[in-house]
Amino acid sequence: MNLRLVVENFMKYGVLICIRCHDYRRIDIFYSTLLYALVPCHLLVAYLLELGAAQHARSALGRMKRSADSNSKDDPVQASRSFQATWYTIAWAHGINATFCLLVTTYVVYFHINHPLIGSICQVHAIIVWLKNCSYAFTNRDLRHAYLNPTSASTLPELYSQCPYPRNVTIRNLAYFWWAPTLVYQPVYPRSPTIRWLFVLKRVAEGFALSMFIWLASAQYAAPVLRNSLDKMATLNIASIIERLMKLSTISLIIWLAGFFAVFQSILNALAELMRFGDREFYTDWWNSPSVGNYWRTWNKPVYHFMRRHIYSPLVGRGFSSGFASTMVFVFSGLLHELLVGIPTHNILGVAFIGMLVQLPMIYLTAPLEKMQGINGRVIGNCIFWISFCLVGQPLAALMYFFAWQAKYGSVSRLEK
């Protein structure tokens, strides 16, 4: 950040950082703790559902072996129908359990937790657990199918042989998946031999230091810009709004980059080391993205792997086009983003959802640039990505939701009165 701007900020506003000025209530802490404590209950239900499905699969396999020994021929159509009926029952039960957990959190955060940061943490955790529950159900469905059809078991990764179905259906296995830094369930993961405690300490220190930096930057630099934009937003002064967006883009980019490093480099690596989780590729060089599509494939690998494994690939495998599958991925992602931003701020504006849908035409626009011969196309694509990323995406969303929050609870509603 330019040193002159830092000095100018302090001269204009003084020191805005105040440790005791955070407006949170004790009831917010109580509700957030209660919501976190309820998660193991939903995971226990998921385990019991899979345990029942595994017992059913064992019984079905036993009947198949007895039929083979007696040289009787089972109707393969009937066997397929039995498997599908069991899966539909388990799928509905999993869906109700996981969605009930998400709905309870969403309701409590929207109506009872006032502080947006506390609400955001609760909502993020609920969405993560919901995605993990879905992956747990889908993957065990595939493993169960391979268990009952040994010819298809050869397509499973060799790593899975270390913990074959149904031996993976245990409380310990599910608890490990709950804490593992991944959204895609596997019965077994590559593991590191030991825990490097010094590495964990360094990553935790990084995460703490970056969290403090984000707090300081938000309070001292972002908050004044946002507050000074309220009257411009209320009067729809377009020129002033654009000027505020450009001013906000710098600090929002710095805060986002610090948050990205804190989460994907520090926190996830510390968690992976504690869990001895072997796959540490949480992101790749998204900053060099030659297209918008490349950015979405590289900046958040855990979410990308979930979307590809459980939404994109199944749709393409069922005969849908890749364009339709990509659209469904971004529609689903848009809904999650709206839940993540709109619920904690108590304003369902649709800005986050529309922002995700707008990515689709930008992906199709920049995709040819990525495939062009030479470096010019990739440079142009990277420039388009950074302009849209810095000036349009985050600053506009932050301004809209902050204005909506102030209109509902703060200075804008008082001004209008």
Using alpha carbons, select from 257, 157, 151, 168 the residue that is nearest to residue 214.
257
Q: How many CB atoms lie within 10 A of CB 239?
A: 8
Q: What are phi and psi of 191, to 5 degrees?
A: -125, 145
AA identity, residue 254: I
74: left (phi > 0), else alpha (psi -120 to 50), else beta? beta
C-alpha dist (Å) from residue 74 to 60, 71, 85, 86, 153:
11, 10, 17, 18, 20
Using alpha carbons, select from 352, 396, 359, 395 the residue that is nearest to residue 127.
352
Strand partners, 191: 277
Q: Are 230 and 406 contacting, i.e. CB atoms less than 8 angstroms apart?
A: yes
Residue 258, CB-side half-sphere exposure with 13 Å CA sphere: 20
Q: Are 199 and 273 contacting, i.e. CB atoms less than 8 angstroms apart?
A: yes
- 337 given a catalytic annotation: yes
Q: Are 204 and 270 contacting, i.e. CB atoms less than 8 angstroms apart?
A: yes
DSSP one-letter code for 195: -
Using alpha carbons, select from 384, 327, 387, 398 the residue that is nearest to residue 358.
327
Alpha carbons 42 and 37: distance in angstroms, whole number? 10
Structure token pair of residue 234: 């209320």
**Helix, strand and coil in the chain, % to nearest 5:** 80, 0, 20
Q: If you write DSSP's letter for every residue of 33-67 in order, what string do you get? A: HHHHHHHHHHHHHHHHHHHHHHHHHHHHHHHHHHH
DSSP one-letter code for 158: G
Q: Are 180 and 189 contacting, i.e. CB atoms less than 8 angstroms apart?
A: yes
Catalytic residue (one of 56, 94, 310, 337): 337
Torsion sign (Cα): 186, 119, 328, 280 = negative
For the chain, the first-to-last Cα distance in angstroms comes to: 38
Active site members: 337
